[in-house]
Amino acid sequence: MQSPILITGAAGTIGHAACKLLVERGSKVRALVRSEDARSARLANLGVDVVVGDLLDLHAMHRAIEGCERIYFGMAVSPSYLEATVNAAAVAKHHGVSAFVNISQMTVSQMDIHSTTDSPQQKLHWLAEQALNWSGLPVVHVRPTAFLDTFFLRLSASSIRDHRQIRLPFGNGKTSPIASEDVARVIATILENPGPHIGKIYELTGPRSQDMNGVADEFSRALGSPITYVDVPWEPWRKQLEDSGRLPPHALSHLATMALLKQQNRYDRLTSDVEKITGKPPLSVYDFVLRHAGFYTTGG
């Protein structure tokens, strides 16, 4: 019988989407979640085998990995990211998995033994990749660029809805953000047949790299009304985000660093890896906004 594919971080956006795609395509899926809630219930309703446990718990990882040959490792932004990666890798190696698909970040491609970024999370991703490569596991690294879902939905929907403005401190830097659903498509496709991908690194971007005025133009076309970009000062933006209480310090530092890197044009990147792997191009900003138009107009 087919062994299940393990998806960690399955309650998150990418993990849940990957579970759904794999089930729809006929794969058996096991999902690791931190707690039982409405999100885990939705996974169970899809026919997913839900395991509750913490990525830092050695015994929980044995329960999750045993019997699985293919694993997707994903975790939310966290200061414990490296420990969780090594914990999962050690147990995966013990059980002899045949594929370990790791989600990283595209910024890692600009880092080396002499230079990392000021984001604590990006450094942890770089270290995690080193540890996985040293482990000897059959690893595939998937490195998406910045997510549309983060800066252009969660952090911008209210200013677009209320003021018709994208208020971000990105300066004149170019960006090619990607939708989480496209990253999930890549991950699901690799997990279905990982053999040709073992040992490879895939860098995922949207279909176009452009400055924020170009992004605002796509928003305007999708929403049918003028949306403008306002280049707000970085420190007041960071302080407002901190005061909102929406993010823990580690995540705040990560996003604030990403904003500075965008100012420095470090996110002017473009690849065709999404289409090369899945046979379908990634969503444009225009397509993404159309799909989520309700958040930018009525708040849901």
pLDDT computed for residue 290 by the predictor: 97
pTM, to two decimals: 0.96
Q: What is the DSSP letter of 77?
A: S
Q: Which residues make up the CATH 3.40.50.720 domain(s) of the chain?
A: 5-147+178-204
Measured in degrees and rounded to the nearest 5, phi and psi for residue 284 equal -80, 170
pLDDT computed for residue 298 by the predictor: 84
DSSP3 helix / strand / coil % (the chain, rounded to 5): 50, 15, 35
What separation, in Å, do the N-terminal and C-terminal C-alpha atoms of the chain show? 42
pLDDT computed for residue 1 by the predictor: 52
Q: pLDDT tens, position by position, for the chain (300 residues)?
A: 589 999 999 999 999 999 999 999 999 999 999 999 999 999 999 999 999 999 999 999 999 999 999 999 999 999 999 999 999 999 999 999 999 999 999 999 999 999 999 999 999 999 999 999 999 999 999 999 999 999 999 999 999 999 999 999 999 999 999 999 999 999 999 999 999 999 999 999 999 999 999 999 999 999 999 999 999 999 999 999 999 999 999 999 999 999 999 999 999 999 999 999 999 999 999 999 999 999 999 866
Question: CATH code for 5-147+178-204?
Answer: 3.40.50.720
Q: Which residues make up the CATH 3.90.25.10 domain(s) of the chain?
A: 148-175+207-268+284-297
Report whether CATH 3.40.50.360 matches the domain 148-175+207-268+284-297: no
Q: What is the DSSP letter of 110?
A: G
CA dist., res. 243 & res. 237, Å (int): 10
Tell me the one-letter amino acid at 271.
T
pLDDT computed for residue 296 by the predictor: 96
| Count of positions (residues) in the chain | 300
